Amino acid sequence: MNKYVISSSILSADFTRLGQQIAEAESAGVDWLHVDVMDGHFVPNITMGPFVVEWCRKATKLPLDVHLMIEKPERYIEAFAKAGASGLTVHVETCADMHNTLKQIKSLGCWAGAVLNPATPVGEIEPFLAEADLVLVMSVNPGYSGQSFMPESIAKVAHIRQKLDELGSSAWLEVDGGISTQTLPKMKEAGATAFVAATAIFKNPQGIEAGIQSLRSLL
Ligand code: DX5
Ligand code: ZN
């Protein structure tokens, strides 16, 4: 595995030709495909479910990095794993029993991710750092792509980097929201190793490949 990964979020893709857009990202050398699942309760927007993950699984060999922005995510872990998710990331704000849910995710053969919102104190995720395969720090309020990066998240990433290092954890430290050629270097400097981008890839005026390459050139 690479030391750093780029995870392209299909939230900004053109869904009339999703398969082609995924193929383009894959041939441009993106590492993971990020799937943003939203339920209209935990976040205001409604997006996609296991059905879309199943079709993504058929469209690509890329690992599917599935971000669950839903209430009671434990109800859907099995469905997303069966649909072909490679990793499932759940929010500390909405998960009643994080330890058990992370365990359940791993038992289904997926990597287990834990994520926190910009307004959530970093202490809320600390009890789960040792068992997470991936820790995600949101740098926007989840719900939509194309929002402005919140610079407060940089210190959070640095803090979690330090805690992961103290634990000797090799978990991915992922960042999501407003990641661009301007903000990626700051997050990398703070210790992030996985970078989610929707707008900077799928809405790049020069095209998907150029979007991926410009981010990659900074890693
Ligand atoms: C936000 C999602 C992100 C989003 C990122 O709720 O979790 O993955 O797609 O979009 P950009 O890269 O445009 O900020
Ligand atoms: Zn996301």
* CA 9 to centroid of ligand 1, rounded, Å: 7
The pLDDT of 127-141, averaged and rounded, is 98
Residue 153 CB partners (closer than 8 Å, separation 6+): 118, 137, 138, 139, 175, 177, 187
* Joined tokens for residue 13: 């893709």
Catalytic residue check, 36: yes
Q: Are strands 111-116 and 87-91 parallel, antiparallel or unpaired?
A: parallel
**Euclidean distance between CA atoms 179 and 186, whole angstroms:** 10
- For 25, phi and psi rounded to 5 degrees? -65, -40
Chain-centroid distance of CA 92 in Å reads: 14
Q: Which ligand is nearest to the CA of 12?
A: 1
Give the pLDDT score at 130.
Answer: 97
pLDDT tens for each residue of 42-62: 999 999 999 999 999 999 999
- For 180, phi and psi rounded to 5 degrees? -145, 180
CA-45 nearest atom, ligand 1: 6
Catalytic residue check, 133: no
Closest Cα to atom 1 of ligand 1 = 142
Give the residue ranges of DSSP H helices in 17-167. Answer: 18-27, 50-59, 77-83, 98-107, 153-167
Question: How many beta carbons lie within 10 A of that of residue 95, not counting itself?
Answer: 21
Catalytic residue, chosen from 31, 39, 65, 176, is: 176
Rg (CA), the chain: 16
Q: Using CA of residue 137, residue 76, residue 5, residue 140, what is the dihedral sign?
A: negative
pLDDT tens for each residue of 155-210: 999 999 999 999 999 999 999 999 999 999 999 999 999 999 999 999 999 999 99
> Sorting pLDDT into bands at 50, 70 and 90, what band is 75?
very high
Catalytic residue, chosen from 14, 31, 36, 39, is: 36
* CA 146 to centroid of ligand 1, rounded, Å: 7
Is pLDDT above 60 for 1?
no
The pLDDT of 87-99, averaged and rounded, is 97
Question: How many beta carbons lie within 10 A of that of residue 96, not counting itself?
Answer: 10
* CA 96 to centroid of ligand 1, rounded, Å: 24
Give the pTM: 0.98
Q: Is 214 left (phi over 0), alpha (psi -120 to 50) or beta?
A: alpha
Give the pLDDT score at 62.
Answer: 98
pLDDT tens for each residue of 6-35: 999 999 999 999 999 999 999 999 999 999
* CA 145 to centroid of ligand 1, rounded, Å: 4
Is pLDDT above 90 for 2?
no
CA-11 nearest atom, ligand 1: 9
> Sorting pLDDT into bands at 50, 70 and 90, what band is 141?
very high
